[in-house]
Amino acid sequence: MRSELSTLITLLVLAVVIVVRFLRPIRMRASRLWLAPAMLVVLSLIVIGGSAERTAPLTIAFAVIAGVVLGLPFGLLRGRHTDVRATGDPNVLLVAPSVVPLIIWLVAYGARFALRAFLPEAGVTAQAASDGLLAFAVASVIASRYVIAQKF
C-alpha cells in the first residue's frame, strides 16, 4: 500500500508539472527541440521494461507498435494545427499552449496508473495496452516536434 501511495504522489506531482507546462506558451529553441522527446523515449523504455517481467515481450511489442502507428499520424496532425510564431531570434519559436497534448498525457498516464494499481489481475493484454498508451503519447510528441522542426 505504501508503494502505491508514493507512486500516486509522484504521478500527481508529475501531472501538476505537465499541466503548468502545457498551459503556458513555450519558447522552443532549435538546439533543444529533441531533448524532451528523447527524455520521454528513455523514460518510457524504462517504464515499459519494468512491465516486461509480467507480460510477454511479443504482447508488449504488439501494443507498442500499435501505439506508435496510431500516435504518429495524430502527432503530425497536432503539429500542423499548433500555433507557432517566430520571435526576434531565428533559432527560437514561440509555441502556443494547447489543451490537446495535456489531455493525451493525463489520460495515458492516468489510465496506465489506474489499470496497474486498481486492476493488477487485469491480464497481460490489459497491461500491454497500458504500454501502448505510453507509446501513443510519445509517438505523438515526436511527430508534432517533427512538424514544428520544419517551421524553423
pLDDT tens profile 22-78: 788 888 888 888 988 898 888 888 878 876 777 778 888 999 999 999 999 999 988
**3-state DSSP assignment of residue 81:** coil
Which three cell numbers, joined as nine digits, stand for 140? Answer: 505523438
* Per-residue DSSP letter, 26: E
Beta strands in 44-87 (DSSP E): 84-86
Residue with the three cell numbers 509555441: 95
Cβ pair 27, 92 in contact under 8 A? yes
How many C-beta neighbours within 10 Å does residue 29 have?
A: 12
Mean pLDDT over the full length of the chain: 82
Question: What's the pTM value of the predicted model, to 2 decimals?
Answer: 0.78
Instruction: State yes or no: pLDDT of 102 exceeds 80.
Output: no
Instruction: State yes or no: pLDDT of 124 exceeds 80.
Output: no
Cβ pair 76, 148 in contact under 8 A? no
Query: Among candidates 13, 15, 2, which has minimal Cα distance to 102?
Result: 15
